[in-house]
Amino acid sequence: MKSNIKFYFIKLSVIIVIVFLLQLMFPLVTEIFVLNEKAIDNHEYWRFLTAIFLHGDAAHLMYNLFALLFFGFTTERLIGSRRFLIVFFSTGILANIIAVNFYPSSLGASGAIYGILGAVAILLPDVVIYMWFFPMRMRYAAILWFLIPIQNQRLN
């Protein structure tokens, strides 16, 4: 039997890694695609999308990749590939629409990751996961992730 899952969570992860490598090789990549005041002032609306694929450093990248790979698989399997992409991009862009009002610049997939975590918490609230080596239900783990801002990345 053929699976309908298209493994977009892996494809997105690969794109994110490639973009990060491009950022390291060509710093201009970050300047062109980061979310900042140019998104509004210069009508460069693509920045609301492109900033999702940028990351500030290797730790930020790894934290987001871990969550995307771990929770992305579950989410895509539960809701399907098309809906997974809708959750990823809509929550990532929504987070950036909010961020542009509070920070001079912002980048990263954290908003999209929060959307995926939220989807898993809604769909499987009682599944037990390990967070910081402690077992807890997904509904509580998601709340902790939302409260702890370690994966948010802003540029000053």
Query: What does the pLDDT look like over 23-48, one tens digit per residue?
Result: 999 999 999 999 999 999 999 999 99
Candidates 53, 34, 23, 31; CA nearest to 106 is: 34
Question: What is the percent of the chain with per-residue pLDDT over 70, rounded to a whole number?
Answer: 93
* Average pLDDT of the chain to the nearest whole number: 91
Q: Residue range 85-93: average pLDDT?
A: 98
Candidates 4, 9, 141, 142; CA nearest to 74 is: 9
State whether residue 92 is helix, strand or coil.
helix
- Tokens representing 68 are 């995307």
136 vs 151, which has greater pLDDT?
A: 136
HSE of 64 in the Cβ direction (CA atoms, 13 Å)? Answer: 32
Per-residue pLDDT, 147: 83
Per-residue pLDDT, 2: 45
Residue 15 has pLDDT above 90, yes or no: yes
Please tell me the pTM assigned to this model. 0.90
